[in-house]
Amino acid sequence: MQAQRGNAAAQYELAQRHARGSGVAMDRRRAFELYVASADQGFAPAEYEVAQYYKGLSGDAFDPVRSLRYLQRAAEHGHGPAQVDLAFLHMNGSGGVPKDLPLAFQWFSKAAAGGAVVAQCMLGDFYKNGLGGAPQDHAQAFQWYKRTATSNDRCAPKSQYELYVAYAEGRGVRRSMPTAINWLKRAAEAGNPIAQRTLGIAYETGRGVQQDLAQAKFWTLKSREGVAPHDDHEHEEHHADGHSRHGGHTHPGPH
């Protein structure tokens, strides 16, 4: 067996099978041993699994220093989810990692180049706001939002809302209220509460749509579903033109 001969990829695959109980007995301890053996040979997916283990997410050990060390190694070896996780750690200044927006931007850029959709969404925010050494470039931000708005990733409704803002204000693209409203409706229907509230305001004021107070009430109430009363003032904090001050991407959690 290749795993017994020390093949890193084979060790990783066997670890996966033991972790799931797929074709072999479920044995998390054996899975962890195989992940470590594979990780110690520089196999990035195994390094990421060991990082998750020491993070306390897939095992009973909690060692944030070791977790970060393996996460860093996996990211440096090109593992997209590790790059995304490391970028968020640097962006938020959490997990024992100092806040460093330029480093966050670098890791999001690497992950985005590898096809990580959430990283591509985040690049839209970095270029929109000129963060982490990224030049403020609305056209570049628009391209990233456009690329991710039709994805199946959970960040898509945020990107859809950003396309609404871009088209409504002519930010990085020619202004078009009909196109803006189409994206706003799409974001609202996808469950984005900021988009739902903004669509409610649009129907209330007749901005870009025919005034419809029933629709205004519907979308306003929809936007409040799941929002705690003490959060409502934040949830409804909007610019006078109906654009939210909130709605930034959040880390989607473990990959």
Q: What digits encode the pLDDT tens for the residues 73-97?
A: 999 999 999 999 999 999 999 878 9
CA 119, CA 74: separation in Å to the nearest integer? 16
Per-residue model confidence (pLDDT) at position 44: 97
Whether residue 160 is contained in a domain is answered as: no
Per-residue model confidence (pLDDT) at position 174: 98
Per-residue model confidence (pLDDT) at position 94: 86
CA 55, CA 47: separation in Å to the nearest integer? 12
Per-residue model confidence (pLDDT) at position 58: 64
For the segment 110-120, what is each residue's pLDDT rounded down to a tens digit? 999 999 999 99
Per-residue model confidence (pLDDT) at position 67: 94
Mean pLDDT by 10 residues, the chain (255 residues): 74 94 90 95 96 81 91 98 97 91 98 97 98 97 98 96 98 98 98 97 97 97 74 39 41 41
SS3 at position 168: helix
Whether residue 125 is contained in a domain is answered as: no
Whether residue 33 is contained in a domain is answered as: yes
CA 126, CA 143: separation in Å to the nearest integer? 12
- Domain count for the chain: 1
Per-residue model confidence (pLDDT) at position 141: 98
Check: CB of residue 108 under 8 Å from CB of residue 80.
no
Q: CATH no. for residue 3? A: 1.25.40
Whether residue 240 is contained in a domain is answered as: no
pTM (predicted TM-score): 0.82
Whether residue 31 is contained in a domain is answered as: yes
Whether residue 220 is contained in a domain is answered as: no
